[in-house]
Amino acid sequence: MMFCDAHNHLAAPALAPHIPAIFPALSAAGITHVVVNGTEEADWPTVAALAARVPAERPALHITPSYGLHPWDTGNRSPTWLETLGQYLAADPSAAVGEIGLDRWMLDRARADDPRLAGLRRAPLDEQRDIFQTQLALAVALDRPATIHCIDAFGLLLETLQAGPLPPRGFLLHAYSGSVELVAPFAALGAYFSFNGAYLAPRHVRLRALYQTIPLERLLVETDAPAMQAPPRHAPHAFAAAPELNHPANLADTYTALATLRELSLSTLTTLVAANYRRLFLRA
């Protein structure tokens, strides 16, 4: 099988002790391609280091590094963030832009003591939009795909994207959770949509129905590992010492479940997702 993880965070500090075990597990699970996203300036050297060492150590695994400032990290950026981001992208023509985006949940619904947001200044939406548009413009200027995070701000996202310009190769709405009605207008602008294993939890009925409507030529699959844990029966892989972390090898099970959801054979789904992944993330 040739499974492609359209969105993960293998450079996250929480995964660092597990990296030597993760790569063989990915290969054993049939995972051949991964997009590794950086979300803040401190992440970017680790993403670059992984991308540099994997080709020699694991020739069967292809990494697309991706560099960006996540909306959660927007408020804590340094004065030189944009210059640094430009340097990382210029240094690797295969690198993508992301994870970037808009997040209203952080402002309106997140608890004041959410540990995932500890120490972060929560940037207001106009500031998030400004930083998002700056990074989108960089993706356009360098002809790179972009990976977008959006929670509770899909109207503003559509409006921002419609103002353009947009990356000619398209962009990924990772773990898309907007409405069915917005799928067509986003797709018309070049969107791809990645299904996450966390959406297999019984309560996510709406999200599974949503992913039955995504055009097949725009469908991708992702883990967001170590975040977004799939429910236990769809998470056969786990870290014994850190069961709260999502193991990226769980991607294979997500493919199987999505094939059932879309009433496709696993091999048909795998072939079409690989073609979509190649079109968006890999240069012809």
Residues binding Zn ion (CB under 5 A): 99, 224
Angle between helices 251-261 and 266-281 (to 10 degrees): 110
Q: Residue type at 158?
A: L
Q: Which is nearer to Zn ion, 123 or 172 (CB)?
A: 172
Q: Which is nearer to Zn ion, 123 or 259 (CB)?
A: 123
Report the nearest approach of Zn ion to the CB of residue 8 (Å).
7
Report the nearest approach of Zn ion to the CB of residue 264 (Å).
26
Give me the residue whose beta carbon is nearest to Zn ion. Answer: 224
- CA distances in angstroms from 255 to 1, 28, 180, 181, 231, listed in the order given: 11, 15, 21, 24, 14
Q: Which is nearer to Zn ion, 11 or 183 (CB)?
A: 11
Nearest one of 97, 110, 33, 108 to 70, comparing CA atoms: 97
Nearest one of 197, 249, 191 to 221, comparing CA atoms: 197
Report the nearest approach of Zn ion to the CB of residue 7 (Å).
6
Cα(96)–Cα(6) distance, rounded to whole angstroms?
A: 11
Q: Which is nearer to Zn ion, 73 or 253 (CB)?
A: 73
Q: Quick one: which H or E segment has residue 57?
A: helix 44-57
Report the nearest approach of Zn ion to the CB of residue 198 (Å).
12
Q: Which is nearer to Zn ion, 73 or 99 (CB)?
A: 99
Report the nearest approach of Zn ion to the CB of residue 224 (Å).
5
Q: Which is nearer to Zn ion, 77 or 259 (CB)?
A: 77
Cα(77)–Cα(191) distance, rounded to whole angstroms?
A: 27
Report the nearest approach of Zn ion to the CB of residue 268 (Å).
27
Q: Say whether 220 sits in a helix, a strand or coil.
A: strand
Cα(173)–Cα(194) distance, rounded to whole angstroms?
A: 7
